[in-house]
Amino acid sequence: MKFCSECGSTVTQCVPPGDNRLRDVCPSCQAIHYQNPKVVVGTVPEWQDKILLCRRAIEPQYGKWTLPAGFMENHETTLQGAARETQEEAGAQIEILHLYTLCNLPHISQVYLMFRARLLSLDFSPGEESLEVALFDEADIPWDNIAFLTVEYTLRQYFADRRKGAFGFHMADIGRREAAASPVPITPEAATSQSQ
């Protein structure tokens, strides 16, 4: 941040009293401009054996396939956000079943929450951010053209769970794609022991 959003003065970085990390602080009005992670919410819309994917009409990853997902808006719940993004990007009406994957992306300060969902009809169409929207069998998933590791991780869990006949909840830490790092699954037990 360069300028204070409250008064327009040039901000400086310092550790405020009682804090333990650098913040953007306004020397004129004393406002502290905290920056915290953003939450991305989306769905895995299913119709019988098929999954609905959208082909992106925007950067980043223009032309690649993704699950409908986007940043939460203020004053909405995670479920409302996931349903809204599914409507906006795929023109699809859904019933949300349950929280399915949680991905931490600490390198870009984002958290993904993806919900399993059931398409209510075959009435869907690309929104402004999508070139096309289509249903895919597992065999036809364009694995080499998936936009984000979070989406690939979620889809791989989905088809693995479906083969097992049981859908669990999955959590992973996901790093930069160029680092070729695989998602690191986190079990609730491991997360608990890490925080102790």
Determine if 187 is a binding residue for Zn ion (CB under 5 A): no
User: What's the min distance (Å) between Cβ of 35 and Zn ion?
Assistant: 16
Q: Which stretch binds Zn ion (CB under 5 A): 21-29, 100-108, 127-135, 170-178?
A: 21-29
User: By CB under 5 A, how many residues form the interface with Zn ion?
Assistant: 8
Residues facing 134 on adjacent strands: 53
Integer Cα distance of 172 and 182 in angstroms: 10
User: What's the min distance (Å) between Cβ of 109 and Zn ion?
Assistant: 23
Which residues between 25 and 84 bind Zn ion (CB under 5 A)? 26, 28-29, 31
Instruction: Say how many C-beta atoms besides its own lie within 10 A of residue 95's C-beta.
Output: 11
What are the C-alpha distances in Å from 108 to residues 31, 83, 175, 176?
Answer: 24, 24, 9, 9
Nearer to Zn ion, 4 or 67 (CB): 4
Integer Cα distance of 171 and 154 in angstroms: 9
64 SS3 class = coil
Determine if 7 is a binding residue for Zn ion (CB under 5 A): yes
Footprint of Zn ion (CB under 5 A): 4, 6-7, 9, 26, 28-29, 31
